[in-house]
Chains A and B, each alone.
Chain A
């Protein structure tokens, strides 16, 4: 596999190609623990340029790795088989905002927050809201099927995708989906692209659904002395038909992390739930909040605070918002790694999963926390470990396996929103073991030469620890 750089420069212009060893080293990383080197990075400025690069790569059997902002936490954009990285950030135009149709059409490299800033004057918002929305691109969010704190009400990225333009592995540009809220029969290939992590094609444009900004938003916070009470409360809120716009859990480790590192002054209890309702009619929001308060009290929740005021809400939510970063400073010498960090389980299993995470962490000499968008079934955790000690990576490997063994035993799934990439692929392959053959056939049909982000998902290595060099100096 030899990349002809002069050809790439001919396709996208000399100023849009990087081949310097250091540039490639940097582009060989993302927000995950993995690193691997590509042969070149190209930053096309048109769909035609993407097509030219992909056609060339397909003819020469060179891997292609599409990349947005590199905020993926599982190694989705790490070029595990080398090849050409297509940096899509220069395709960053908002092509259309149509308030009358409640949709927008954007190029793949548009940043989520930039889109939200653009649609806000129309009284609209783009709902998925992953925590990385400040840098994450729409194309990356689609390829990863991202979601976030409000997905409990507004769904994941897949629920906002109406259509898209994709450059397939043979260089063909196809239009998938529609401009309408509903579309009936026929292969829903646009849906197939959602969450495909760049393994089926390069998403270059998307038509996305927008929602009206709610006029009223009320946030509540409730404390629990038992983590399992909080878990059961979450399950009950959803099962009782309530419609929270946010339903978040924080365990005691998470509370301690934000209190010690950010001096947040959160109550030192076993668990906190944050619940929110929003809507156009205040009485309806009041009703939802009151009903959720009753459920919290039923599950021994106490010290309930609620507020409509933006400043108050920001204060109440600050601890949760800054949690990931706070965890990285939980204890000197421990790094906060994104491993086994976003499993989803049925609501009724949330409480038992939270307890199990702590049990597994203790057994394997690592620190793990249980928090997340539990209202949408997503449990976040991080593995806090000393990355400079090789044995800790074995501990992490064992903890990841045990967590996922448990998740599958209760009917859960590997990743709710951060994607599979490299680090979650071994577990995901275990979860999907009876459909791996089908997945490989689909991949083969769309990408017969296996050039699109090869070595990921069903084709990823079986051991994530040795799959690539890891970012920390112990490896």
Chain B
């Protein structure tokens, strides 16, 4: 094996500690989306074994797999042997890049031709993956550090930051999911969109005894599992309201528990949005932001149920607007 892979080699003992129980993919967003085991954290660890044993040669394809991870760390949290799965992935990414193999995976991509280098993306990236090269007047993105949280995508005023692979959570994919839920909602029944963060509350609900409550098909609200609340832009919330949602709820992580500060970012956006709604005569209570830790399943259900109780008397948003206009 090439010398450049010494970082992975340092983790060999930790790799050997993995007992391959498979708990790591129980809450993995990638596996949940397409049910292929080869997208799982355990699968990625197998590839690193392959590199260490020499049965696999470093390749662009391996880089593609390793760069497809949102670092939600549900794998590490679920790991029965407490293996630092994502730290191992980072070491592997560094080795692969050093070896000349880099891939986009779920990392962000900046369209330099249209970038004004305003630097907003730099300020929102808690992973410190984005820097401005003042001389070249362009944004530089460190793919190893980028965790695909999407905060920069939601924050970019020019809309020129994107992801090649979003696994259901790029703005356009989230937009499609919103449309899908609203199209299937029955006439006259409340239709509400709930964004759940895959860092804390969604895996917590799944693992708890309340998992079945959010998996029922006849819920009065549609759940969209998102990777970080920081990637919910105002445009997505407005889209939901415009397409017929009676209300939108965003479930974020508690303060200081979001690795991307996505909760602070969404808090500022929702505050601004509510002001806008107030000004144009739409009840700002139609949008709710709340914060939940992994073990806050009961709190979440109470919160979403009280939101539904508030939303039900309001009715569809267009009727409300028409009533306002008529009066």
Contacts and interface: CB of A to CB of B under 8 A. Distances in A.
A43 B35 contact: yes
A31 B20 contact: yes
A332 B13 contact: yes
Contacts of A132: 21-22
Given A120-B212, A325-B80, A473-B53, A27 B38 contact: yes
Interface string A313-338: 00000000010110011001101101
B201 to A, nearest CB: 17
Nearest to A382: B19
B164 interface: no
A460 B79 CA distance: 32
Contacts of B54: 473
Contact of B16 (A18, A32, A35, A335): A335
B19 A328 contact: yes
B20 A333 contact: no
A29 interface: yes
Contacts of A26: 37-38, 40, 42-43, 46-47
Contact of B36 (A18, A387, A472): A18
A117 interface: yes
Interface of A: 18, 20-23, 25-27, 29-32, 35, 41, 43, 69-71, 87, 89-90, 117-118, 120-121, 132, 134-135, 322, 324-325, 328-329, 332-333, 335-336, 338, 387-388, 469, 471-473, 475
A92 to B, nearest CB: 8
Contact of B37 (A70, A120, A333, A388): A70
Contact of B80 (A87, A121, A324): A324
A31 B82 CA distance: 16
Given A134-B23, A325-B82, A25 B56 contact: yes
Contacts of A335: 16-17
A43 B36 contact: yes
Contacts of B211: 117
A329 B81 contact: yes
4 cross-chain pairs, A with B, having the tightest CB-CB distances, nearest first: A325-B80, A26-B43, A23-B38, A31-B20
Contact of B52 (A135, A333, A473): A473
Given A469-B55, A473-B12, A473-B49, A87 B21 contact: no
Interface string B121-162: 000000000000000000000000000000000000000000
B30 interface: no
Contacts of B46: 25-26, 29, 35, 471
B17 A329 contact: yes
A70 B21 contact: no
Interface string B161-185: 0000000000000000000000000
B275 interface: no
Q: Which of A29, A322, A387, A471: most chain B CB closer than 10 A?
A: A471
B167 to A, nearest CB: 14
B323 to A, nearest CB: 41
23 contacts: A21-B61, A22-B38, A23-B36, A25-B50, A25-B56, A31-B19, A43-B36, A69-B37, A70-B37, A117-B209, A121-B212, A132-B21, A132-B22, A135-B25, A135-B26, A324-B21, A325-B79, A325-B81, A328-B81, A471-B49, A473-B12, A473-B53, A473-B54
Interface string B186-230: 000000000000000000000001011000000000000000000
Interface residues of B, number: 39
B308 interface: no
B65 interface: yes
B35 A134 contact: no
B16 A27 contact: no
B17 A22 contact: no
Given A70-B22, A473-B12, A117 B212 contact: yes
Given A22-B38, A27-B37, A70-B37, A135 B22 contact: yes
B35 A135 contact: no
Nearest to A92: B35
Contact of A475 (B22, B38, B53, B62): B53
Interface string B96-135: 0000000000000000000000000000000000000000
A87 B37 contact: yes
Nearest to A135: B22
Contact of A328 (B17, B25, B26): B17
Contacts of A22: 38, 47, 56, 59, 61-62, 65
A118 B217 CA distance: 13
A469 B49 CA distance: 12
Q: Which of B12, B25, B49, B79: most chain A CB closer than 10 A?
A: B49
B20 A30 contact: yes
Contacts of B212: 117-118, 120-121
Nearest to B212: A117
A329 B83 CA distance: 10
Given A25-B56, A329-B82, A473-B12, A336 B26 contact: no
Interface string B47-76: 101101111100101100100000000000
A135 to B, nearest CB: 4
Nearest to B64: A22
A96 to B, nearest CB: 16
Contacts of A87: 36-37
Nearest to B44: A26
Contacts of B43: 26
Q: Which of A134, A322, A324: most chain B CB closer than 10 A?
A: A134
A211 B56 CA distance: 47
Contacts of A41: 38
Contacts of A469: 53, 55
A87 B23 CA distance: 18
Given A118-B212, A471-B46, 13 more contacts: A20-B38, A25-B46, A26-B40, A26-B42, A31-B19, A69-B22, A71-B22, A120-B212, A132-B22, A325-B19, A328-B19, A387-B16, A473-B12
